[in-house]
């Protein structure tokens, strides 16, 4: 699965949790709103109920007042003749019901005759209703029906708006009754409504009384709760219903009706939602962790299995390696591995330390502290590999190792460079080649030796003479050569046989070898019965001395020679001594010595002739 799709897939649970949280919080908000609405409806219902009750009580209170007025009117036949009593009762009525502006008697001619209290109502006394007066139709209707009625709102003679309740009165309780005008209760609407609402003692409602769109009175005991609608209902006062009562809830009513339930429901709902979603989120996280743990466990198990495989393979490799190490320990060759940069001996087989007389531990310590004590020129040898390891493939070198007891061991070391993991290693195989060296030396010696006499042969003579020539030339020293030839050797062979001749040559050679007096002198068999002696640094006098010494040595041999005049074997010597110079060569020296030998032969043999003397 692509990574982006996998990430999107893994985010689905979080999205669902987000949606769930949104739904739960939405439900909490909805519940809060529903409860608030219910509370508002409850407040409105209470408002309606209280308004209705209030209207009834106002109407009832008004009914009480007009009933009191009607009762006063019933006593009119008595009051007609006793004005003082009437005055008293009327004043008592206005005192009991302070909403009355005045109590008045309107005579049958519709003129106001009496009024109580008089103070404040003087303007009305003597006033006669005309047909234009708003109350006139009502009066006419009452006169016909003798039923009390309330007038519409009109302007009072005393000033200001007013209402009047007309009660018909009769002069006598006879049949038919004698109409005697009207008893009038005058109200100022504002005062009436204030008295009515004040007597009821309402403190929760804001009451607004109006008629035909004109406000009559407003009662506001508290601040208006303007977020709720108003309740309107007509107020029925006596026969009229044109006063409209508008009731609005006050803040105190709202406070009384409202509870903290919506907020609590909202808070607890949001809290519960958060807790639920958090729990689900934690559960989701735990499940994911558990899943990750299971995957990790599976990986771990797979890794363990893989490691076990590796371990088994490692054990097999170790067994193989141990076998290889055992095999190397059984090798007669010294096998060792040296790591470069830094230099350290990484491995040695058993032959290494056994051949050098150490324990493994001792040899390792010694190689670390003083490797030159084990191998002469170790530092130089390592340095040569350090600088050329990258280029050199393999090489064989002759080295000298030192045994613990001090003697040296010649070793041929085959070295191959190996690079692994940015490091160079030297794989070395050392072999004690003392026997081979000895055999080679023997061969070399044999190649330089004369088979019969054991002296150096002609080949060696040529090399040695050339070498000494160069050396003496460098040192500005003379080089001398003695050429010896056995006298009458042919007759010796002829008389005594070749076997005797060989023996004689061997004895002569031995005497020559022993007769050498100084280091660097060399006796060689030049060919047949001829010998040569190289005398480095010898001048003519030393040549003479050496030749004499050889003559005496040969004389001492006393080899019988029946064909010789002296009856013994003698030699003739040609001596030559030269200062090696650039224009000369070793052959010049040989030629001179040869010439001197020829002279010695020609002068009678058994003597020495010196070419230098000849030349001189």
Q: Is 493 in the site for ligand GTP (CB under 6 A)?
A: yes
Residue 499: CB minimum distance to ligand GTP, A: 7
List residues bridging with 480 in a β-sheet.
535, 577
Q: Are 221 and 207 in contact (CB under 8 A)?
A: no
Q: Considering CB under 6 A, how many residues would be counted as binding ligand GTP?
A: 16
Chosen residue from 79, 240, 248, 488 binding ligand GTP by CB under 6 A: 488
Residue 586: CB minimum distance to ligand GTP, A: 24
Using CB under 6 A, which of the segments 83-91, 372-380, 411-419, 498-506 binds ligand GTP? 498-506
In the three-class reduction of DSSP (H, G, I as helix; E, B as strand; rest coil), residue 141 is classed as helix
Q: Is 566 in the site for ligand GTP (CB under 6 A)?
A: no
The whole-angstrom separation of Cα 328 and Cα 345 is: 16
Residue 549: CB minimum distance to ligand GTP, A: 22
Residue 567: CB minimum distance to ligand GTP, A: 15
What is the four-CA torsion angle of 440, 445, 448, 452, rounded to 10 degrees?
-130
Residues 6+ apart with CB under 8 A from 425: 337, 338, 339, 340, 346, 417, 418, 419
Chosen residue from 88, 490, 518, 552 binding ligand GTP by CB under 6 A: 490
Which element (helix H / strand E) includes 254? helix 251-257
In the three-class reduction of DSSP (H, G, I as helix; E, B as strand; rest coil), residue 576 is classed as strand
Q: Is 485 in the site for ligand GTP (CB under 6 A)?
A: yes
Q: Which of 220, 247, 219 is nearest to 233 (CA)?
A: 247
Q: Is 450 in the site for ligand GTP (CB under 6 A)?
A: no
Q: Is 498 in the site for ligand GTP (CB under 6 A)?
A: yes
Q: Is 489 in the site for ligand GTP (CB under 6 A)?
A: yes
Q: Do strands 408-420 and 394-402 pair parallel, antiparallel, or not at all (unpaired)?
A: antiparallel
Residue 508: CB minimum distance to ligand GTP, A: 11
User: Two tokens at 307?
Assistant: 């490691």
Nearer to ligand GTP, 134 or 528 (CB): 528
Site track 271-310 with ligand GTP (rule: CB under 6 A), x = hit: ----------------------------------------
Considering only residues 197-216, where is the footprint of ligand GTP by CB under 6 A? none
Site track 503-522 with ligand GTP (rule: CB under 6 A), x = hit: --x-----------------
The whole-angstrom separation of Cα 144 and Cα 138 is: 10
Place of tokens 């005497």: 511
Q: Which of 173, 213, 209, 253 is nearest to 59 (CA)?
A: 209
Residue 502: CB minimum distance to ligand GTP, A: 5
Considering only residues 120-149, where is the footprint of ligand GTP by CB under 6 A? none
Nearer to ligand GTP, 134 or 604 (CB): 604
Nearer to ligand GTP, 291 or 490 (CB): 490
In the three-class reduction of DSSP (H, G, I as helix; E, B as strand; rest coil), residue 259 is classed as coil
Residues 6+ apart with CB under 8 A from 447: 459
Chosen residue from 468, 487, 544, 594 binding ligand GTP by CB under 6 A: 487
Residue 490: CB minimum distance to ligand GTP, A: 3
Residue 472: CB minimum distance to ligand GTP, A: 30
Using CB under 6 A, which of the segments 356-364, 393-401, 486-494, 547-555 binds ligand GTP? 486-494
Q: Are 105 and 114 in contact (CB under 8 A)?
A: yes
Range list of H helices, 357-457: 360-369, 378-388, 434-448
Query: What helix, strand, coil percent values describe the chain, rounded to 5?
Result: 50, 25, 25
Residue 534: CB minimum distance to ligand GTP, A: 21
Residue 504: CB minimum distance to ligand GTP, A: 8
Q: Is 311 in the site for ligand GTP (CB under 6 A)?
A: no
Nearer to ligand GTP, 176 or 451 (CB): 451
Q: Is 529 in the site for ligand GTP (CB under 6 A)?
A: yes
Chosen residue from 501, 536, 574, 586 binding ligand GTP by CB under 6 A: 501
Residue 590: CB minimum distance to ligand GTP, A: 18
Q: Is 594 in the site for ligand GTP (CB under 6 A)?
A: no
Q: Is 217 in the site for ligand GTP (CB under 6 A)?
A: no
Q: Is 181 in the site for ligand GTP (CB under 6 A)?
A: no
Residue 451: CB minimum distance to ligand GTP, A: 10
Chosen residue from 111, 236, 350, 601 binding ligand GTP by CB under 6 A: 601
Question: How long, in residues, is the chain?
Answer: 616
Residue 599: CB minimum distance to ligand GTP, A: 13
State the first-to-last Cα distance of the chain, in angstroms, to the nearest integer.
113
Nearer to ligand GTP, 89 or 529 (CB): 529
DSSP structure string for 182-238: EEEEEE-HHHHHHHHHHHHT--SEEEEEEETTEEEEEE-SS-B-TTS--EEEEEEET
Q: Which residues of 46-74 are buried (b: 16+ CB within 10 A; e: fewer)?
A: bbeebbeebbebbbebbeebbebbbebbe
The whole-angstrom separation of Cα 78 and Cα 85 is: 8
Q: Is 188 in the site for ligand GTP (CB under 6 A)?
A: no
Q: Is 502 in the site for ligand GTP (CB under 6 A)?
A: yes
DSSP structure string for 19-56: HHHHHHHHHHHHHHHHHHHHHHHHHHHHHHHHHHHHHH
In the three-class reduction of DSSP (H, G, I as helix; E, B as strand; rest coil), residue 459 is classed as helix
Nearer to ligand GTP, 445 or 490 (CB): 490
Q: Is 458 in the site for ligand GTP (CB under 6 A)?
A: no
Q: Is 528 in the site for ligand GTP (CB under 6 A)?
A: yes
Interface with ligand GTP by CB under 6 A: which residues? 485-491, 493, 498, 501-502, 505, 528-529, 601, 605
């Amino acid at each position: 699965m692509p990574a982006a799709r996998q990430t999107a897939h893994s985010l689905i649970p979080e999205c669902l949790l987000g949606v769930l949280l949104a739904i739960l919080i939405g439900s909490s908000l909805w519940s809060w709103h529903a409860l608030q609405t219910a509370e508002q409806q409850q407040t409105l219902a209470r408002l309606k109920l209280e308004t209705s009750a209030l209207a009834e009580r106002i109407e009832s209170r008004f009914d009480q007042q007009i009933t009191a007025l009607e009762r006063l009117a019933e006593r009119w036949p008595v009051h007609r003749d006793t004005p003082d009593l009437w005055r008293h009762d009327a004043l008592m009525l206005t005192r009991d019901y302070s909403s009355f502006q005045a109590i008045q008697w309107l005579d049958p001619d519709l003129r106001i005759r009496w009024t109580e209290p008089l103070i404040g109502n003087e303007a009305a006394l003597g006033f006669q209703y005309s047909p234009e007066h708003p109350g006139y139709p009502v009066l006419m209707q009452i006169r016909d029906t003798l039923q009390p009625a309330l007038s519409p709102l009109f302007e009072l003679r005393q000033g200001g708006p007013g209402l009047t309740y007309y009660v018909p009165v009769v002069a006598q309780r006879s049949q038919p009754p004698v109409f005697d005008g009207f008893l009038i209760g005058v109200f100022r609407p504002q005062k009436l409504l204030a008295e009515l609402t004040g007597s009821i003692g309402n403190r929760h409602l804001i009451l607004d009384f109006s008629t035909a769109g004109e406000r009559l009175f407003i009662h506001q005991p508290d601040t208006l709760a303007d977020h709720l609608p108003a309740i309107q209902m007509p107020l029925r006062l006596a026969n009229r219903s044109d006063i409209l009562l508008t009731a609005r809830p006050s803040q105190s009513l709202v406070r009384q009706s409202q509870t903290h339930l919506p907020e609590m429901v909202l808070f607890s709902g949001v809290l519960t939602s958060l807790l639920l979603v958090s729990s689900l989120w934690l559960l989701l996280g735990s499940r994911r962790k558990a899943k990750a743990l299971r995957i990790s466990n599976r990986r771990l198990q797979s890794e363990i299995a893989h490691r076990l495989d590796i371990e088994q393979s490692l054990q097999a490799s170790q067994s193989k390696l141990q076998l290889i190490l055992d095999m190397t320990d059984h090798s007669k060759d010294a096998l060792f591995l040296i790591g470069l940069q830094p230099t350290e001996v990484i491995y040695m087989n058993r032959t290494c330390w056994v051949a050098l007389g150490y324990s493994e531990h001792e040899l390792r310590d010694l190689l670390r502290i003083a490797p030159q004590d084990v191998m002469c020129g170790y530092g130089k040898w390592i340095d040569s590999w350090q600088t050329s390891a990258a280029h050199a493939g393999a090489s064989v070198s002759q080295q000298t190792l030192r045994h613990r007891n001090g003697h040296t061991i010649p070793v041929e070391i085959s070295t191959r460079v190996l690079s692994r993991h940015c490091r160079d290693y030297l794989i070395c195989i050392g072999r004690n080649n003392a026997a081979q060296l000895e055999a080679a030396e023997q061969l070399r010696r044999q190649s330089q030796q004369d088979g019969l006499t054991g002296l150096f042969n002609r080949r060696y003579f040529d090399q040695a003479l050339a070498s000494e020539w160069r050396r003496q030339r460098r040192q500005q020293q003379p080089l001398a050569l003695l050429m010896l030839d056995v006298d009458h050797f042919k007759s010796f062979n002829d008389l005594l046989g070749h076997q005797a001749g060989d023996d004689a040559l061997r004895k002569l050679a031995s005497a020559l070898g022993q007769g050498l007096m100084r280091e660097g002198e060399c006796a060689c068999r030049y060919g047949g019965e001829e010998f040569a002696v190289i005398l480095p640094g010898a001048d003519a006098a030393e040549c003479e001395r050496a030749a004499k010494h050889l003559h005496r040595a040969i004389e001492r041999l006393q080899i019988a020679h029946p064909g010789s005049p002296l009856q013994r074997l003698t030699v003739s010597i040609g001596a030559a001594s030269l200062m090696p110079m650039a224009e000369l060569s070793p052959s010049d020296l040989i030629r001179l010595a040869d010439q001197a030998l020829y002279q010695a032969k020609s002068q009678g043999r058994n003597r020495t002739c010196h070419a230098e003397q000849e030349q001189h």
